[in-house]
Amino acid sequence: MRGRLLNFRRISVYVALLPMAITACAVYLGTTLWSLRVSFSSSRTFPTDNFVGFAQYARLFTDDRWLLSLTNLAIYGTLVIVVCLALGFWLAALIDAQARGEGVLRSVFLYPYAMSFVATGVVWQWLLNPSLGIQEAAHRLGFEQVQFDWIVDPDKVIYAVAIAAIWQSCGLVTVIMLAGLRGIDPEIWKAARVDGIPAWRVYVSIVRPMLAHSFATATILLLTAVVKLYDVVVAMTQGGPGTASEVPAKYIMDHLFGRANIALASAGSIVLLLTVGILLAPALYLRRYATRLAAR
């Protein structure tokens, strides 16, 4: 039936698919290859064809600022993903067990996700302000020992950024987990009650593994957002104090537009792309595996 369609109809299908083809091939694939090419050149403000092999990559990995950026991203990423998954699942399980007020609680946990990273950064910059924020409020209440000046402490500033991001994206995990919990067979609860297994045990040992697909989905979304980390840092700390909260995306942006070193910036962006690929592949594989298990 399909093979006997009139030709001009086929043509209109291909015309309709043209924007997608251009976006996929020219933009996503084309620009990536372009950046890869530039990363092997000695380009400064404009791209040149003077190729220098892996020199930019070598330079990148001897640059303290880049290494610090990567370390910060690793700390931030691990914290955000682990805490969001744990807290998000925990809150979802509690909401699920409580069975009342789900709509209201979900709205409250998810509203920060509707706010921009810039707004998030600005709010937390204010909350963590060492002389007027939470620390000062605690001191005034008589808790003189409270020290919560992470945002001006070079060793702790990245944790302050992580707190802001966790507040912003934790609700996303809760919502995904709640959606996953809807698909759990209620018979499990009857069986567990008959066997006298406590509810928390059921959530941790039985329900959690059944939500492998939701966990993988949440991890993929969090990972994608983690690597993009830029707006929160710019709004909250501008990479400071000093360079203590520099991150790769900001390093790349600074070298593209501030320092006119597009080859070094492109090398950084390719490293970032490879990192995404290496980290995402297992999560995507796990999710496909979980989907197949669920379909069985």
Partner 1 sequence: MSSRRAARIGLTVFLASVAFCFLLPLYVMLVTSFKSLDEIRLGNIFALPDTLSLDAWRAAWSTVCTGVSCEGIRGGFVNSVQIAIPSTALAIAFGALNGYALVFWRARGANVLFALLMIGAFVPLQVMIYPLVRATAMLHIFGTLPGIVLVHVIFSMPLMTLLFRNYYTALPVEIFNAARVDGAGFLRTFAHVVLPLSPPIIVVAAIMQVTGVWNDYLLGLVFAGRDHLPMTVQLNNLVNTTTGTRQYNVDMAATLLTALVPLVLYFASGRWFVRGIATGALKG
Exposure b/e, 18-46, CB count within 10 A at least 16 = b: eeeeeeeeeeeeeeeeebeebbbbebeee
Among 7, 45, 62, 131, binds partner 1 (CB under 8 A): 131
Q: Does 123 bind partner 1 (CB under 8 A)?
A: yes
Closest separation in Å from C-beta 94 to partner 1: 6
* Residue 232, phi then psi, degrees to nearest 5: -60, -45
Site string for partner 1, 201-220 (x = CB under 8 A): ------------xx--xx--
Tracing tokens 């009857």 back to the chain, one arrives at: 190
Closest separation in Å from C-beta 164 to partner 1: 9
Q: Does 166 bind partner 1 (CB under 8 A)?
A: no
Q: Does 233 bind partner 1 (CB under 8 A)?
A: no
| Of 92 and 158, CB closest to partner 1 | 92
* Residue 61, phi then psi, degrees to nearest 5: -85, 5
Query: Within positions 31 to 90, which residues make up the interface with partner 1, using CB under 8 A?
Result: 31-32, 34-35, 38, 47
Closest separation in Å from C-beta 220 to partner 1: 8
Among 69, 76, 85, 112, binds partner 1 (CB under 8 A): 112
Contact 189, 202 (CB under 8 A): yes
Give the orientation angle of helix 157-182 with respect to helix 64-98, to 10 degrees: 40
Contact 228, 253 (CB under 8 A): no
Among 249, 261, 264, 290, binds partner 1 (CB under 8 A): 249
First to last CA, the chain: 32
Sequence letter at residue 81: I
Contact 80, 128 (CB under 8 A): no
Q: Does 127 bind partner 1 (CB under 8 A)?
A: yes
Among 95, 157, 177, 192, binds partner 1 (CB under 8 A): 95
Contacts of 179 (CB under 8 A, 6+ apart): 214
Among 48, 58, 238, 289, binds partner 1 (CB under 8 A): 238
Q: Does 264 bind partner 1 (CB under 8 A)?
A: no
Site string for partner 1, 266-295 (x = CB under 8 A): x-xxx-xx--xx--x---------------
d(CA 139, CA 158): 23
Among 20, 194, 278, 295, binds partner 1 (CB under 8 A): 20
d(CA 80, CA 86): 10
Q: Does 234 bind partner 1 (CB under 8 A)?
A: yes
Tokens for 201, please give them: 């045990």
Part in contact with partner 1 (CB under 8 A); list of ranges 59-67, 69-77, 110-118, 154-162 = 110-118
Q: Does 29 bind partner 1 (CB under 8 A)?
A: yes
Helices (H), 117-230: 117-127, 134-140, 157-182, 187-195, 199-201, 208-210, 212-227
Q: Does 230 bind partner 1 (CB under 8 A)?
A: yes
| β-strand partners of 51 | 41
Closest separation in Å from C-beta 19 to partner 1: 5
Query: Within positions 133 to 152, which residues make up the interface with partner 1, using CB under 8 A?
Result: 133-134, 136-137, 140
